Structure 1
């Protein structure tokens, strides 16, 4: 079934490319694109089978994201962040799963995980309030996952949780006016004080241990993977896709380009141009290969019923943040070597350059913290696995 989704996504790529300018102009992915993705089953790749999902191999999910982003970065981005959420919803208590998918298995969920909201413990749950930023694709979703610190009656922080909130309990504030990933509609979410039942929350300490109440209903190996591996790799996958799209357009442009300043020499005959694409393609392939190999290695431990070693989880994050950097380095080199025509509105290259650098500032792509943790662990220092 996953192959059918991948084939369907591949057929949609020309349309996504044609709508890329419209996507930026609307500051949202067009409804037509979201509908097409729904119809080919993309958003169900990581959804539990008991809710008409596919429970696919995460590598198929990442491959689909990369393909989509190679045609339109913004579309690929919302596919990554909205598409990974069914995996996390599957870890929630069954009451929450039923609320999201019980009546409509095509329900989509957006997110903003930074704990900028405040939750206070009360009978049966929490009182949540606050404002969150960067909820990509929120206009296409009817629930949202929000991060919040939990306070007891004495005002002390007792937990860091993800809260699942229905559309009638939050407001979307249109603030998304940016130069990169302009079509992701990554607007703000505002919640006035509202009650969230315990069953509609998930502790980050639990996800850090690769456990959640939903595993009782969804016992498959997919739902035993680490949150911070699955989610952060979903942030790198579209950026690698952008690099692939930039590479394809650069090669095509250089095959047609004549360099007037060099006596009409064809750009494709320039030996230095050949070296540049060799270097860029290696960066792209290396980024992808390491990320996918690490996820596959984690899957092997899960399949054997083994605990995933912390060293491997930290390696996932090391290669994920460096994979993002490798992809962006490739885009930079290709963009700089493409000549003035790459600057034209409508080219994929200039959009990929803007979109990839915008994606680079996502918290999951913070290289120093991930690399520092990896190095500290190698030196024998204690590292909190709950965040990696």
Structure 2
């Protein structure tokens, strides 16, 4: 593998047929199959954002995004898990090297986590944690879990940062120390195993309780780790949505080439309305992809030069990712309607992608409130 991990995209493309062939089983069992997980591990895809000092690729964002696009064309659940766990691995940059080696270079070397919740009480040598966390995509493949917690002192008082905000840390522990709750019965992304997990009075040593997205806590010099995980999630999941949209539109185009609609005088490929719809939808998808990647490239160029991720970068990524996911959902909706009654059958490649896309569009990265946040910033600017 080269120094930037550029061949990750080729590797993802090479195993896409395997993933597509396993997609039905992934859907049925609600988790990635062993053969898919094995292929992802063997080809180093889970290590896309892991530091090179730990044997990872430390790939730039656009390579990570293209990798996810290729996988998402084959199966959205696989791409979602890969994106989630790859971003989780970025926390290695804030860990003691020995601790990071224990987590990421011991089988399976996969870390998963859920949303921010609960507290960790400071005790001698570390912290005590009790709580339950949700939305741990990819947890069935993980060997370690993380939990984002607010820190309280031994007397229960909240610990504050210098600016008065609550001190947040991510605590890491082996999956075997947690109780997993199989709760992911969802309309889409069924194979992600986005389960809940729980611990009771679990002791976390200091070395496994780290600051996340705090530049001063970083032990790795690369610019990648100045990129907050939240923004990386946004870029990655927007890329997943592009892959799903691309595959769904391609399936509709293939159908139109050969289908003769009931009661219609001509084949779909000769229908001017279908031709125009495909042309406009293709333009919409290409525009969304170009906008997302242009934003990522501009952000990365400036971040690499300055070693700083600015509020302007955050807003730009948030706007591009949100708009791309919502635009991808429109592309999928158009392709689904274009396919007519064919689209409702599980034997055709439409209904699962339709459900997966709408599950993606319900996630935090696609919230309409992001447009409000960006609009508020724009209105406050003096231009």
Residue deviations 1:74-100, cap 9 Å, x none?
111111111222222223343531331
The equivalent of 2:188 in structure 1 is: 180
Residue deviations 1:138-185, cap 9 Å, x none?
111111121222233244363232222222321211122222111111
The equivalent of 2:174 in structure 1 is: 166
CA distance in 1, matches of 2:254, 2:189: 24
Q: Which moved more, 1:306-315 or 1:52-61?
A: 306-315
Deviation at 1:278, TM superposition (A): 2.0
Residue deviations 1:90-138, cap 9 Å, x none?
233435313313x5275011110x2223222222332111111121111
| Structure 2 alignment gaps of length 5 or more | 160-165
Q: 1:75 to 1:212 in 2, by over 3 A?
A: farther
Deviation at 1:274, TM superposition (A): 1.6
The equivalent of 1:372 in structure 2 is: 372
Q: Which moved more, 1:35-44 or 1:147-156?
A: 147-156
The equivalent of 2:321 in structure 1 is: 320
The equivalent of 1:297 in structure 2 is: 298
The equivalent of 2:204 in structure 1 is: 196
The equivalent of 1:43 in structure 2 is: 46
- SS of alignment partner, residue 146 of structure 1: strand
The equivalent of 2:91 in structure 1 is: 88
CA distance in 2, matches of 1:175, 1:105: 25
Q: 1:87 to 1:187 in 2, by over 3 A?
A: same
CA distance in 1, matches of 2:98, 2:91: 14
CA distance in 1, matches of 2:66, 2:216: 26
CA distance in 1, matches of 2:362, 2:347: 24
The equivalent of 2:162 in structure 1 is: none
CA distance in 1, matches of 2:192, 2:322: 21
CA RMSD of aligned residues (A): 1.9
- SS of alignment partner, residue 46 of structure 1: coil
CA contact (8 A) 1:225 1:298 kept: no
* TM-score, with length taken from structure 2: 0.91
Match of 2:76 among 73, 76, 83: 73
Q: 1:146 to 1:286 in 2, by over 3 A?
A: farther
The equivalent of 2:17 in structure 1 is: 14
Deviation at 1:312, TM superposition (A): 2.6
How many aligned residue pairs are there? 371
The equivalent of 1:52 in structure 2 is: 55
* TM-score, with length taken from structure 1: 0.90
Deviation at 1:229, TM superposition (A): 1.8
Q: Indicate yes or no: 2:286 matched with 1:285.
A: yes
Match of 1:254 among 250, 253, 256: 256
